[in-house]
Amino acid sequence: MLTCNMPIPYQTIQLLDDITITVKRIDQVHPTISGNKWFKLKYNLIEAKRLGYSQLLSFGGAYSNHIHALAHAATSFGFDSIGIIRGAELADKPLNSTLTTAQSLGMRLEFVSRTDYRRKHTPEFLTELQARYPNAYIIPEGGTNTLAVKGCEEILSEQDCQGFDAIVCAVGTGGTFAGLINASHRNQRLLGFSALKGDFLINDIQQWTEGDKQNWTLYSEDKFGGYGKFNDELLTFIADIKARYALPLEPIYTGKAFYRLLAMIEQGDFASASKILFIHTGGLQAFNGST
Ligand SMILES: *Cc1c(COP(=O)(O)O)cnc(C)c1O
């Protein structure tokens, strides 16, 4: 059974103006199924078992934290797993550490062209895939669906909804952020820092949240050039935060979100004595040793 390493640790960082950032280390929720991906998978695994599927199938890029978590979850929960990986050219190259781990856990990797990968949400593509893998429970890219959002609502405890003025997290598909919004108290301000450029996710997030909740803002990644892009300034920042606070971050999600949060605090966007909860969503698996 999928169990959680409760209690999840908190780490508090005291800043200027008495502002505190408390980091909820959900990256430590489980030894191998890290961070928000654990919460996103939880109800999907239960549903897949209930419906009698023997395989889990999902999609991701070569560094996907979701694919990594899925491979671990599948073995520990008694499923076979299939990863549809973006980039046909990767099939002939040595696997990176994310994919090596996934494969060693028994995941069957299928590499598809970028063009085919873009079709992954279309009914035709999914029907064809389901016909090829009739025993597979198909989970969307990044793991986001209604059951994932439900799982992410459990990231926040009652105490988290009472004791903090603001809740901050990194955003990919928006599923995690939607769960946090649903669980939050109306007086709390929620800030989501997207790893992607553009505000197209706002519609998705609205779909997954209770419509009348308007206590949230999504910030587009317009600082470092978009998804997966980073520079020396960000890497230096991440190294500095690690040295100063023993807080490990990575440059795709959590590092960018933490950088933007500190910049907003410096600009005076938060009142003195604000209590901010930063959700550490994980993602360290792809960057061990490189930052
Ligand atoms: C997947 C991931 C996210 C994004 O989660 P979404 O629910 O897709 O928005 C954020 N941070 C980390 C570390 C991730 O791996």
Q: From the CA of 233, how far away is ligand 1's center (Å)?
A: 22
pLDDT at residue 5 tops 90: no
Amino acid at 263: A
pLDDT for residue 3? 65
Residue owning the nearest CA to atom 3 of ligand 1? 172
For the stretch 30-52, pLDDT in tens is: 989 989 999 999 999 999 999 99
Encoded tokens for 207 = 């779909």
Separation CA 284–CA 248 (nearest Å): 8
List ligand 1's pocket residues with C-beta within 6 A. Answer: 35-36, 65-66, 142, 144, 170-177, 253-254, 281-283
Q: Residue 97 is which amino acid? A: S
Q: Check whether 17 has a pLDDT greater than 80.
A: no
Architecture of domain 10-31+149-288 in this structure = 3-Layer(aba) Sandwich (3.40)
pLDDT tens digits along 57-90: 999 999 999 999 999 999 999 999 999 999 999 9
d(CA 269, CA 86): 39
Common-topology check for domains 10-31+149-288 and 37-143: yes
Mutate to test the pocket of ligand 1, among 36, 59, 177, 196 (most ligand atoms within 8 A of CB): 36
Task: Calculate how far, in angstroms, residue 144's C-alpha sits from the geometric centre of ligand 1.
Answer: 10
Q: Any bridge partners for residue 14, and if so which?
A: 20
Name the CATH topology of 37-143. Answer: Rossmann fold (3.40.50)
From ligand 1's centre to the CA of 142, what distance in Å? 7
Residue-wise pLDDT tens digits, 178-216: 999 999 999 999 999 999 999 899 999 999 998 779 999
Residues 6+ apart with CB under 8 A from 291: 235, 238, 239, 242, 249, 250, 251, 255
Closest C-alpha to 109, from 144, 48, 49, 58: 58
CA dist list (Å): 6 to 3, 26, 28, 254:
9, 10, 9, 22
What does the alpha-carbon distance between residue 235 and residue 230 come to, in Å, rounded to a whole number? 8
Which pLDDT does position 286 carry in this prediction?
Answer: 87
- pTM for the full model? 0.95
Give domain limits for the chain: 10-31+149-288, 37-143
- C-alpha 114 – ligand 1 centre gap (Å): 21
